[in-house]
Structure 1
Amino acid sequence: MVVTHHRRSRTRFTEDQLKVLINTFNQKPYPGYVTKRELAIETNTEESRIQIWFQNRRARHLLKKQPDREKALESSEVPGQHHPAQQIRGNEDRRHRTSYSFSQLETLNKAFMNNPYPGIDSREQLAKEIGVPESRVQIWFQNRRSRLHVQRKRELESLEQSERQDL
């Protein structure tokens, strides 16, 4: 079976959509889940695309402030002052944890064994099959790859430790 990896096509926002997003960013650069959902409805786009737009915008915003960054870091070390993200970010509207049924997990694990790095087409197919948004499938695969990496690292450390004890 040949697996092809297709990138998602670039999301292009209209001027009206950008006005809404930029206005919200200026008020709240770290919007919570509820805000992102409302923006997705207002701009008629997926919540995951809104999330990516904010991540990219924050990155660009930081790059513009790069020369001032050292001064900001120095001033942030003053007792009683907090990092701006800590002041803005709250969990008042965080996304609820996604729970998967046994059959959903079985399907996801089987797909992971076949290909731990599925492309957008595969993720969308899986999402449709198990009834969750594609963005949740993408996060599940990221988390599963991370867990696999940690498991392999532990196994390697355990093996090295047992070999040392044998000597």
Structure 2
Amino acid sequence: MAQDASPNKTTPVNHRRSRTKFTHDQLKILIKAFDKNPYPGYTTKQKLALEVNTEESRIQIWFQNRRARHQKKSEPDEDVESSQEQDHLEEEVQSRENRRGRTNYTSSQLHTLIEAFSNNPYPGLDYRERLAKETGIPESRIQIWFQNRRSRLRVQRKREPDDEDLGQRQDQE
């Protein structure tokens, strides 16, 4: 006999966001925009998100996936590669101008995020959305904050053994 989980129990559930499925009309809009510029700026992605009625973060992922798919399909010759590099550099400069501004966090927001990170460095979508409501920060920014924090923690852990070795060497001398 299987037991149902009690609705009062609050166990954190980590689950993936469901796959975004675009309609044919939405895809037409996205493909047309991709053909114009495969590296759109933040404002362009926001406009597309409004036009296709989805989040900017979903548009960003769609463009990343589309670029990856196109790079796999055509392995360019060296002649074409140098001109594409030049085009890419120009697009990169243009995209820097259209970037999203740096997110500034208040001390209370940081305190909440750090406390949540110490409890679980890999929060699921539900928990990130709860944090978004609590802090007033968009869920996509919270997801990036956690990614950056985990990366920072890995870097710190890599440095620690070096610091310990240095201390042991100094003690031996």
User: How does the TM-score come out when normalised to structure 2?
Assistant: 0.86
Distance 1:126 1:75, change over 3 A: closer
Superposition pairs for residues 28-47 of structure 1, below 5 Å? 28-47=37-56
Distance in 2 of aligned mates of 1:94 and 1:75: 26
Deviations 1:77-111 (A, max 9, x none): x9xx8443222222121101111111100100000
Superposition pairs for residues 90-109 of structure 1, below 5 Å? 90=94, 91-109=96-114
Distance 1:87 1:3, change over 3 A: same
Partner of residue 78 from structure 2, selected from 69, 72, 76: 72
> How many percent identity over aligned positions?
60
Larger Rg: 2
Partner of residue 144 from structure 2, selected from 119, 139, 145: 139
**Aligned position for 1:52:** 61
**Amino acid corresponding to residue 40 of structure 1 in structure 2:** A
Distance in 1 of aligned mates of 2:110 and 2:79: 43
SS, match of residue 43 in structure 2: helix
Please state how far the C-alpha of 1:75 moved relative to its aligned partner: 4.6
Distance in 1 of aligned mates of 2:90 and 2:78: 15
Residue correspondences, number: 161
Unaligned runs of 5+ in 2: 1-9
**Amino acid corresponding to residue 21 of structure 2 in structure 1:** R
Deviations 1:125-157 (A, max 9, x none): 111110111100000001111111112222221
Quote the RMSD (CA, aligned, Å): 1.8
**Amino acid corresponding to residue 133 of structure 1 in structure 2:** P
Partner of residue 15 from structure 2, selected from 6, 17, 22: 6
Moved over 4 A (4+): none
Unaligned runs of 5+ in 1: none
Distance in 2 of aligned mates of 1:3 and 1:95: 31
**Amino acid corresponding to residue 78 of structure 2 in structure 1:** A
Superposition pairs for residues 9-24 of structure 1, below 5 Å? 9-24=18-33
**Aligned position for 2:89:** 86
